[in-house]
Structure formats: C-alpha cells, structure tokens
Amino acid sequence: MNNYKPPFHITDKMTLLVAEISEQIGRITVLQEKIISPHLRRENRIRTIHSSLAIEHNSLSLEQVTAILNGKRVLGNPNEIKEVENAYEAYNLILSLDPASVEDLLTAHKLMMKGLVSENGIFRSGGVGVFDGESLIHMAPPAKFVSMHIHNLFAWYQTSELHPLIKSAVFHYEFEFIHPFADGNGRMGRMWHSLLLGNWKELFFWLPIEELIQSRQKEYYDALAAADTQTDSAAFVELMLEIIRDSLNQITIVGRNTVQVNDQVSDQDNSPVNRLLSVLEGNTLSATELMQRLGLSHKPTFRKNYLNPALEQKLIERTIPDKPNSKNQKYKRVSYE
C-alpha cells in the first residue's frame, strides 16, 4: 500500500485561485469545441518550447526557435539547436502520453535529452544538486531511491482526491524535489505538469504557461527553494495557480470562430477591469447582470478582480452612491465629458 503523502496544506488563496481559474475555463469553453486552429496550436507550442528552454539558459530567440522548427538554417550553439529539436519532438508526443505511466515519462525524457546527456530515458545513477551560482540550494534524494519516489508520486496523483489544479502543482514541486534525471528535470517537470492539466482540460495542451513562468523565473525558483526550507509546497502551488490564472487571462475569443492567445505585452487589454468596462460600454447594469455578461458565477471573484478595482480607479460609478448595498444598485462608466 502506498502511504506517500506530499507535505503541503491548502490555503485560502489556493481556494480563491481555483475559483478564478474555473471561471476563466468556463469563459473559454469554446476551446473545447476545437475551434482553436492548427496554426495557433503550433504557434503556442513553439512559444512553450522557447520559454521552457530559456528558463534553462538556452539563448536562442523565439524567432530562431521558430526558424529551426520550420527547417531553416540557424547559426547558433549546436547543443541549443538540438535542445529545440528534441523538445519539439517530445511535445509532439504529448497527446499520446499517459500521465500515469512512469514508462511514458522515461520515453519522453529520452526524446527530450537524446544526444545531450548519456543518461537519457533512464533515472540518474548518481547524486545531483541544484545550484544558484556557487550556492547549493537543494540536494536531491540519493539515486537508489529515485525509482521508488517517482512510482510513489505517480501512484499518489492517481488516488488523490485534491482538485487537479492543486495536485498537478504539488506533483510539479515533488518532481523537482526528487530530481529524477541527470539533466532535463526542469523541462520535464513543466511538460508533465502541462500533461496532467491537459488530461483534465484539453485547452491546457495548447496554453503556453511556460511564458509566464519565464517572466516570473526568479519567483519560480524562490518558491521552489521556500518549499524546500518550509517542508511545505503551499507557496509554490500558489505561484503556479497564479501563473495558470494569468495565462488564461491572455486568451481572447475573437468573434465566434477564432481564439487568440495574446502576447504578454498586451495582457492589460484583456484585464478583468477592461473586460468589465467593455461590458458596461453604453449600459447601466446591476452586479448580477454584469456577472452574467462576463460569464462569472463566483461573486467574491467578481468583486475582488472586477468591480472593486474599477470603482477604486474611478472608472465606473454607482447609480445610488449613498447606498452602496442597495438591492437596486447599478453601475455605469464614468463620463469625463
């Protein structure tokens, strides 16, 4: 019997983030009808690969990565070019991988690291540590225990009744803690996290979460280190949930038949406040009507992320300002004419 139980606790912040993410997934249900185009899927896959490798200090630009995968000649470090080609091959296999299979994990690692390290497709045979410059920030468990730890982790995930958003993030941390391979642990941990989420909701197969991880790389590593120090992965889970939420915030439905994943620089255009302002354009609506038009059902999320920030920034106003809690309260955009 597997008694493996990762050390962590569920926080109020996790619960709120899961609610927010669930709201976003409901907003993007159009993706589940496979409206997302093959071109966009490939584009997002390339962005995922570029960001995941950049986290591991691959210096190739997004344009160079795209050129390599389009079969063009690129001048660059041969190992870095090989990393791109391998990662693309591994991610192309993701839809056929069984997230519960340790054998499939080894197969994916073999593709990811072939020609880069001798121990590809097998668990490491020696000790390994994680360094920040000259400082050791994590010493992984001895090699002789790796297989047992990984099998226990996979078994725990399949039997755990935690929400998939939470337990996939816990899995990600525990995978990095075990550090099962001689090299490639970071990129494999992020890939398997996407696989676990994609097995739950298909849209996660095409969501470039790694871009947000790269933009918050220091926080990512700090959260891993904090989880080690505290023997509790709660801080890391919270960060990953924030990143997933922010990645979903970048998705825009354009018309009925087009799905667009925005660049990070344009994320503000699709912020909760801007979505609220768009819905209110030319209208005077109650909170209930606003939530319906936004596709939201969780009132605390609506007030925290949409209504209250818009009121605080004086972008919208109440129709009954003297009675904020009036049952007849409605909201409209502030006019500066």
Q: What is the pLDDT of residues 287-337, one digit of tens each?
A: 998 988 877 777 887 888 889 988 988 889 999 999 989 999 999 998 754
Helix axes 12-27, 234-249, angle to 10 degrees: 20
pLDDT at 266: 36
Work out the burial of residue 300: count CB atoms within 10 Å of its CB; fewer than 13 is exposed, 13-18 middle, 19 or more buried.
exposed
Per-residue model confidence as pLDDT tens digits over 70-87: 999 998 999 999 999 999
Give the distance, in angstroms, between the CA of residue 283 and the centroid of all CA atoms in the same chain: 35
Q: What is the DSSP letter of 140?
A: P
Q: What is the DSSP letter of 128?
A: -
Computed over every residue of the chain, the mean pLDDT equals 86
**Buried residues in 169-178 as b, exposed as e (16+ CB within 10 A):** bbbbbbbbbb
What sign results for the dihedral spanned by CA atoms 295, 301, 305, 308? positive
pLDDT at 37: 64
Per-residue model confidence as pLDDT tens digits over 107-155: 999 999 999 999 999 999 998 877 666 777 678 899 999 999 999 999 9
Q: Which of 32-36, 197-201, 257-261, 295-299 has the highest mean pLDDT?
A: 197-201
- 256 pLDDT band, cuts 50/70/90, is very low
CA distance 33 to 179: 37
- Report, as an integer, the average pLDDT of 268-288: 78
- 229 pLDDT band, cuts 50/70/90, is confident
Cα dihedral 192/193/198/200 (nearest 10):
120
pLDDT at 90: 95
Tokens of 219: 């926080």
pLDDT at 155: 96
pLDDT at 132: 62
* Closest CA relative to residue 299, chosen from 20, 15, 10, 81: 20
Contact indicator for 1, 228 with CB cutoff of 8 Å: no
Contact indicator for 170, 162 with CB cutoff of 8 Å: yes
Please name each of the domains of the chain with its CATH number.
12-254 (1.10.3290.10), 271-333 (1.10.10)
CA distance 155 to 231: 21
pLDDT at 202: 86
* Closest CA relative to residue 181, chosen from 195, 170, 192, 168: 192
Lowest mean pLDDT among 55-69, 121-135, 219-233: 121-135
pLDDT at 100: 97
Q: Which residue has the higher pLDDT, 170 or 228?
A: 170
Residues pairing with 260 in the sheet:
252
- 185 pLDDT band, cuts 50/70/90, is very high
pLDDT over 70 for what percent of the chain? Answer: 87
* Closest CA relative to residue 68, chosen from 42, 52, 88: 88
E strand or H helix at 13, and its extent?
A: helix 12-27
pLDDT at 284: 92
CA distance 174 to 297: 33
Cα dihedral 66/72/77/80 (nearest 10):
40
Is pTM beyond 0.85? Reply is no
pLDDT at 61: 92
pLDDT of 263 higher than 50: no
pLDDT at 139: 80
pLDDT at 247: 85
